[in-house]
Amino acid sequence: KKPDLEVFRVFRDRLMDTRVRLLCTNCGTGITYTVKDMPDDLHCVNCHSKLLAVTGTRNMDAELLLNRKIKKGRKDTTASAKISKPSSPCIDFTNEEQDYLDRLADSASLVAASGKRAVTVQAGRGIGPRTAGRILRRQTDGDELLKDVLREELLYAKTKRFWRE
């Protein structure tokens, strides 16, 4: 079991040193943290909303798309300025863009409900909102939560070559 402990320690250190960008789905403000330096009480530094979507630090497309959605919401009196899943597809966005906005909304919902745990889980490689939700439902904390993330990362590494993008 000694190698397993060493692998887990290296994994935990890598995950805790991962930088994540949190985007406010209410006002579009972004802030970057390393997982280990994140505050326990997560909220937007601008508007104090708890709806923060997790993205990679280099993903500027998410920020641009989200800001476009927010600006459209401000111009359209029938639309909410907040990102939310529409009952019908939005005409101004392609299906791919709308799917991405839906993923951002799912991510923000997880962060609002589970806080720092949700960000930690989504910092794992290949772990999006759907997988993160599955992990968070197990109600584990500490090392058990990280072991669940490691299991999902390993599964992703094994299966990613079979996925179509």
Structure confidence by residue, pLDDT tens digits, 69-79: 888 876 654 43
Q: Where are the domains of the chain?
A: 2-159
pLDDT at 76: 56
Position 81 confidence tier, pLDDT thresholds 50, 70, 90:
very low
Task: Report pLDDT for 77.
Answer: 43
- Could you tell me which residues come within 8 angstroms of residue 89 by beta carbon, excluding any fewer than 6 positions away? 95, 98
Over residues 30-48, the mean pLDDT reads 94
Its pTM stands at 0.83
Which has more pLDDT, 73 or 44?
A: 44
* Mean pLDDT across the chain: 86
| Largest interatomic CA distance in the chain | 60
From the centroid of its chain, how far is CA 50?
A: 13
Find residue 21's DSSP bridge partners.
32, 55
Instruction: Give the dihedral of Cα atoms 19, 24, 27, 31; nearest 10 deg.
Output: -20
Q: What percent of the chain has pLDDT over 70?
A: 85
Q: Beta partners for 24?
A: 52
Per-residue pLDDT of 107-144, as tens digits, reads: 999 999 999 999 999 999 999 999 999 999 998 888 99
